[in-house]
Amino acid sequence: MKRRTGNPLLFVYLATFLFSTHQALTAYVNSTYLSTAISNQIVGVLYSIGSFITLFGLSFIPKVTSRFGNYRTTLGLYIFSGACLFLVGIGIAPLVTIIAFILYLCANNLIIFSTDIFVEHYAKRSTLGHSRGLYLTLVNLAWVGTPLLAGYIATNLGYSALYGISFTYLLFGGFVIGRTCKDYKDARYVRMPVFRSLTLVHKNKDIERAIAANFILQFFYAWMVIYAPLYLHNVVGFGWDQIGIIFTIMLLPFILFEYPLGALADKYFGEKEILLLGFAIAGTTTIIFGTLHFDAPLLAWGFVLFMTRVGASMIESMTEIYFFKKISDKNTNLISVFRDTGPIAYTVAPLIASLLLIKLPYQSLFVVLGFVVWLGILVSLRLHDTK
């Protein structure tokens, strides 16, 4: 691949697609794969530990970026993530697998942070909704096709082959960044202590509410990614080939709606109204998922999960667009706080779910989650539209 001197945004998108494909291939298999070495209840704790460590990583990444530049930082993270994924896939010993998986979760979150800086820098401010919408569409396009593929590989070739293919996609993603972003000129990053960043966020109520809305969304994702596969596979009794079909249907809204929603937010509507509707849809259908009878046909499970992601796609696109309209690529500390919501959610959600599972059946997890998602309606009502 030749190095380009023009705007490399399209290549950043390509790298993002490859990186997201590598994540998606194993995301819904990770919890089941890990449960072969440890109990179902402890799997969630591993996500909590990895996310807790990620919080420290996100607090230091602005300093690392300022010192080494975003280009070298991103390449280093790709290499580190690849090494960890390799160790997870070969499964030398349970302890090695667990430690590598925890560090792998952390590295991936930091790569997303670094990619945010590239996209924020190269995208035009006047069409940020389009740019972010396209970015999210490519991310989710990678997620839509992979559940079927992952289910087939896990069933017929085994987990090691699945992790090996995922590693290959990660390798190519890092290669694209390495070849096309060499000329990236780092901004004069605004560096400030974490406490000052939080104080700044608190003073800007709209940014604070956007971050709160994103936290609820990430809480929803954490709960679903860890426990929906375990529920469908270990409790309901679906095979991976069936789960692959369900999850493929489930993820379609992310490629169908996020780019059009970004364009609508740029030209016609404010983000607030779409966000409100998204929380209402996601919360309601998550509760329905938790009350669906085990004998319901496969397409019924797929449709209900599809509707949960219709709501989630609306929330995701609007929170991303709203937040990044409010900042620039110099505000790495604010981006770090925004991305903190993911690891915080992945720290808190599994711990709460693990406690609930001591007394409650699996189905109740999703009823509780639906009510949590409904809280986003209250947050959204207090936002001021950017238009």
Q: How many CA within 13 A on the CB side of residue 84? A: 19
Q: Is 9-381 assigned to CATH 3.30.830.10?
A: no
Encoded amino acid at 92, one letter:
I
Query: In this predicted model, what pLDDT tens digit does every residue of 317-334 receive, in sequence order?
Result: 888 888 877 776 566 667
Q: What pLDDT score does 197 carry?
A: 64
Q: What pLDDT score does 100 carry?
A: 92
Q: What pLDDT score does 61 carry?
A: 80
Residue 68 has a CB neighbour count (10 Å cut-off) of 14
Distance CA 140, CA 165 (A): 18
Q: In this structure, what DSSP letter does residue 186 have? A: P
SS3 of 202, please? helix
Q: What pLDDT score does 40 carry?
A: 67
Query: In this predicted model, what pLDDT tens digit does every residue of 167-184 receive, in sequence order?
Result: 999 999 999 998 888 877
Domain ranges, ordered by start, for the chain: 9-381
pTM confidence score: 0.72
Residue ranges of the chain with per-residue pLDDT less than 70: 1-6, 40-41, 123-130, 132-133, 187-198, 200, 202, 265-270, 328-333, 336, 385-387
Positions of E strands within the chain? none
380: closest CA among 313, 322, 308?
322
Q: What pLDDT score does 3 carry?
A: 46
